Amino acid sequence: DAKTTQPNSMESNEEEPVHLPCNHSTISGTDYIHWYRQLPSQGPEYVIHGLTSNVNNRMASLAIAEDRKSSTLILHRATLRDAAVYYCILRDGRRNQGGKLIFGQGTELSVKP
């Protein structure tokens, strides 16, 4: 399984944008880039995914490098509720691989008021 590298922790101020980086230099053509987050005492929560193009949804934006070897999750205005561990995951999109998610250590985001 292709691996991702993320900073262990990041800090942000409330109502400011946050850019969470992820390196995935061994990504293959069939890998989707997924982001999940885990709030304290909860199960992981889907945030966003992309394949080649940048993506936006109500929670966040995902910027994908042209060579797909890195990506950045963007929270446009951090709130205290966004404090969580953010996981960048490469999910193999081939049918015979099932749908498993391989979690790394993630980035622990803290948000200061």
Judged by the rule CB under 8 A, the positions of this chain that interact with other proteins are: 32, 34, 38, 42-46, 49, 51, 87, 91, 93-105
We find the least distance from the C-beta atom of residue 98 to other proteins, in angstroms, to be: 3
Shorter beta-carbon distance to other proteins: residue 24 or 87 = 87
Residue 6's alpha-carbon distances to 23, 24, 85, 98, 113, in angstroms, are 7, 9, 11, 25, 24
Shorter beta-carbon distance to other proteins: residue 40 or 113 = 40
Shorter beta-carbon distance to other proteins: residue 98 or 113 = 98
Classify residue 105 as left (phi > 0), alpha (psi -120 to 50) or beta: alpha
